[in-house]
A and B are shown apart, each in its own frame.
Chain A
Amino acid sequence: MKKIVSVLLILAMVLSLAACGGGETGGKVTLDVIISQYGNYTQAWWTEFEKDFEAANTDIDLNVEIVSWNDIYSVVTTRISNNEQPDILNISGFADYVASDLLMPAEEYVSEATKENFIDSFWESNEMDGTVWALPILASCRALFVNTELLEGAGIAAAPTTWDEVLTACEAIKTTYGDSIIPWGLDISTDEGQAAFSYYTWNFGGGFVDEEGNWALNSAENVEAVEFIKTLIDKGYCNSAPYTDTRYPLQDAFSAGTLAMMIGPMNMISADSTVQYEAVNIPGLGIGLGVCDQLMTFKDPKAEEADPARTEAITKFYDAFYECETYSGYMVYEGFLPATEDASENLSKNAEKYTVGGDSGATGSSEYFATFCATLPTCSFYPMQKAEWMDVRNGVIDVEQKVCQGLTTAQEALDALQAQVSG
């Protein structure tokens, strides 16, 4: 008995030591950074970055942790409720953190050079009540992807540009291929149903907010858009379970050639796909969805006043990350669009210098960056800087699901949501 207990105790000590891994840093500034997992190889890039950064800044101990999108919100929230927020976080959306008074204003830690380098619209997109709270880490935009082979086979010459053409094309595909091809991919799951809401409402002429920036969820255009989503489901044009199908299996189905059309991010086609496709503007008004994730800096929960040494380390981190070569490399590596001036320019010319994550050895394409960096300004973004954003996000998904299940009408559901949000 005694032996077993002592063995257990030793085991426990070893394990807890391993768990605490280097709590003692000896006067160094420690920076805990949480990065979202953008791809299967995110970890490898950041491990390299961490090594280089620490070599260049021997007084800073950088800990980068990669967290998958599945878990990141719960991971971060539990940390915060334990008063253990990271120093730097990469996530989508910052308003709730501002509301809880957890973030440092960007001006306090970003060097002048780095600040000037951001593309203006991105820098401003993180403004809330006159203060910028976060930095854009990368951008991506959504477009309509069509499988040209399938469309031609169904007698449709060109990708649809209006919503009526979408219905016609879906019908043609359905008649030609029967059940073997899904005409249209739809995701109104809790995962990203708000994206569907924006594709359709924006391009029907509505949206989340009116011109003054006030919530305008129950506009006539929005009602029409939500009803259109229901039509897609009712006519059997889309995947069978849009309530639970996330974008990812749809993308894979598109890449495998069993899904004819879907709206998705520009890097959605899997590397080994052989389908003939085309990426075009979203039908209707042609407004793409721009997605821009952020990097934000938390106040030190243990100190009343900002520690200058910590702030300085943070500045160094951002300077190193947004440095043109490093940042361009990361954008190609993950397949996203840069949010800085010099990297956009660089990638539009020299993307071939950098390689994509993984061991395929593929390089970036300057043409790709030139095209998409140019379309980015025409994209709209989620109103993330508004305090009610998370409620609206969940609210519109709920509206979509309820309406499509026939539990209520689009008008009623949107009226109720508008009343709840603005009242």
Chain B
Amino acid sequence: MNTRSKNPWKRIFLYLFVFAVCVVILYPYFVMFTTAVKSNEEMYSTTAGILPKEWKLNNLIDVWTQAPILKYMLNSIIVAGGATILAILCGIPAAYALSRMRFKGKGFFMGAVIMSQMFSPVVLLVGISRMMSAIGLKDSLLGLILLNAAFNQAFAIWLLRGTFTSISSEMEQAAKIDGCGTVQALIRILLPMAAPGIITTLIFVFINSWNEYTIALTLISTDALKPITVGINVFYGFNMIQWQYLFATSIYATIPVIILFLCIEKHLVAGLTSGGVKG
């Protein structure tokens, strides 16, 4: 598109549009925050103002003593981190083979990868939990790591393959002639060049795993092993919903991911370019 528009009306329209978008996007976060600092009484007020009448900033601190949030967060980090590492470790060789080698069944494998995405974890819940208890990994973080890694495999392979394909193989060949092995060529030459794509993939898998809810809900029963998305359910208790704590925890669960996202926002676009376009 034309990157420098001169028409002032266009500018005004543009700013109005962008402003409207920002308002809508920020609104749920605004609600999340203002509700988190309300008193329980005001929560159910039918004549509430836009802002809380009484700011109970203490809620944001109290919530830490109401539930083992730190523990939940830690579990989330272990699960998301583990799943990301595993998904990448399995995904890189696969994507490398798919982009650099010719072999029988390549098309079939690609098809199978896409097919594996057709079933969402929810659809497979009963099957998944049967299998996980059969191998004794139900109610364990390792089980969640394996599942999240597997369900993100397709996406990881897809993005990585695109990235690798977009990088010319000349450098690696040169390295091989110099006596480098395939693995060395991959690690020394290709991976550094593919860094933006790899980072994008990392983040994607991390965020998907961090936000995963249904598998964890069904598989994890020990309180100390719950990730944060399931953990916030404690505020959906038997006799009450504590909206203020629910939202306070939500804020804490969201902040790390947003920060992470902001850090890589630039790479994100670059990574999708190399990865996605060649999909």
Contacts and interface: CB of A to CB of B under 8 A. Distances in A.
* Chain A in direct contact with chain B (Cβ < 8 angstroms): yes
Contacts of A113: none
Interface string B138-154: 11111101000000000
Interface stretch (A228-236, A265-273, A306-314): A265-273
B85 A67 contact: no
A37 B47 contact: no
Contacts of A257: 41
A274 B137 CA distance: 48
Nearest to A83: B133
A180 interface: yes
Interface string B105-133: 00000000000000000000110011001
Contacts of A8: 82, 85-86, 89
Given A19-B142, A249-B241, A67 B126 contact: no
Interface in A222-265: 248-249, 251-253, 255-259
Contacts of B218: 71, 74-75, 78
B207 interface: no
A18 interface: yes
Contacts of B240: 248, 251-252, 270
B187 interface: yes
A252 B43 contact: yes
The contact size tier of chain B is 35 or more
Interface string B42-66: 1111110000000000000000000
A78 B142 CA distance: 19
Contacts of B192: none
Given A78-B126, A82-B138, A252-B44, 4 more contacts: A1-B187, A4-B89, A16-B140, A38-B238
Interface of A: 1, 4-5, 8, 11-12, 15-16, 18-20, 36-40, 43, 65-71, 74-75, 78-79, 81-82, 84, 179-182, 248-249, 251-253, 255-259, 267-268, 270, 272
Contacts of A74: 218
A71 B217 contact: yes
9 contacts: A4-B85, A4-B89, A36-B238, A39-B239, A70-B233, A180-B46, A248-B239, A252-B241, A256-B41
Pairs A-B, 3 closest by C-beta atoms: A19-B140, A256-B44, A15-B142
A258 B139 contact: no
B223 to A, nearest CB: 7
Contacts of A67: 221
B168 interface: no
Contacts of A84: 133
Contacts of B140: 15-16, 18-20
B139 to A, nearest CB: 6
Given A8-B86, A258-B46, A15 B141 contact: yes
B8 interface: no
Given A1-B183, A15-B140, A74-B218, A181 B46 contact: yes
Contact of B129 (A82, A253, A256, A267): A82
A179 B126 CA distance: 45
Contacts of A12: 142
A37 B238 contact: yes
Contacts of B221: 65, 67, 71, 75
A71 B46 CA distance: 31
A268 B222 contact: no
A78 B215 CA distance: 12
A319 to B, nearest CB: 27
Nearest to A12: B142
Nearest to B129: A78
Given A65-B222, A78-B218, A82-B133, A249 B44 contact: yes
B44 A258 contact: yes
Interface of B: 40-47, 82, 85-86, 89, 125-126, 129-130, 133-134, 136-143, 145, 183, 187, 217-218, 221-223, 225, 233-234, 236-241
Given A82-B130, A182-B46, A252 B40 contact: yes
Contacts of A65: 221-222
A269 to B, nearest CB: 10
A256 B241 contact: no
Quick one: which of A256, A268, A270 has the most chain B CB within 10 A? Answer: A256
B76 to A, nearest CB: 14
Contacts of B183: 1
A36 B237 CA distance: 11
Given A70-B236, A82-B133, A248-B241, A253 B142 contact: no
A110 to B, nearest CB: 27
B130 A78 contact: yes
The winner among B40, B41, B221, B239 for most chain A CB atoms within 10 A is B239
A39 B41 CA distance: 20
B205 to A, nearest CB: 15
Contact of A40 (B45, B145, B225, B237): B237
A267 B239 contact: yes
Contact of A19 (B43, B89, B141): B141
Nearest to A179: B46
Nearest to B136: A20
A81 B130 contact: yes
A79 B143 CA distance: 16
Contacts of A253: 44
Which of A15, A16, A181 has the largest count of B CB atoms less than 10 A from its CB? A15
A249 B126 CA distance: 31
